[in-house]
Amino acid sequence: MLDDRTAVEQARRGDERAWRELYERHVDLVFRLAIRVVNDRDVAMDVVQEAFVKASRSISGFRGDSSFKSWIASIALNEARSWHRKRSRERQVSLDSVPEPEAMERGAEEVMSDVELAGRAMDFIRTLPAQQRDAVMLRTTEGLSYREIAAIVGSSEGSVRVSYHHGMTKLREHMKTVLSSGTGDSIRT
| Same domain, residue pair 76 and 128 | no
Task: Give the model confidence (pLDDT) of 19-45 as tens digits.
Answer: 999 999 999 999 998 888 888 899 999
Task: Give the model confidence (pLDDT) of 138-171 as tens digits.
Answer: 888 888 889 889 988 888 999 999 999 999 999 9
Spatial neighbors of 51 by CB under 8 A, at least 6 apart, are 30, 34, 72, 75, 76, 79
| Residue 97 domain flag | no
| Same domain, residue pair 4 and 68 | yes
Q: Which pTM was predicted?
A: 0.63
Amino acid symbol at 121: A
Report how far residue 92's alpha carbon sits from residue 114's, in angstroms, rounded to the nearest whole number. 30
What is the domain range of residue 126? 111-189
In which band, very low, low, confident or very high, does the pLDDT at 85 lie, cut at 50, 70 and 90?
confident
In which band, very low, low, confident or very high, does the pLDDT at 115 lie, cut at 50, 70 and 90?
low
**Percent of the residues in the chain that have a pLDDT greater than 70, as a whole number:** 80
| Same domain, residue pair 54 and 123 | no
Report how far residue 137's alpha carbon sits from residue 147's, in angstroms, rounded to the nearest whole number. 14
Q: What is the pLDDT of residue 88?
A: 59
| Residue 25 domain flag | yes
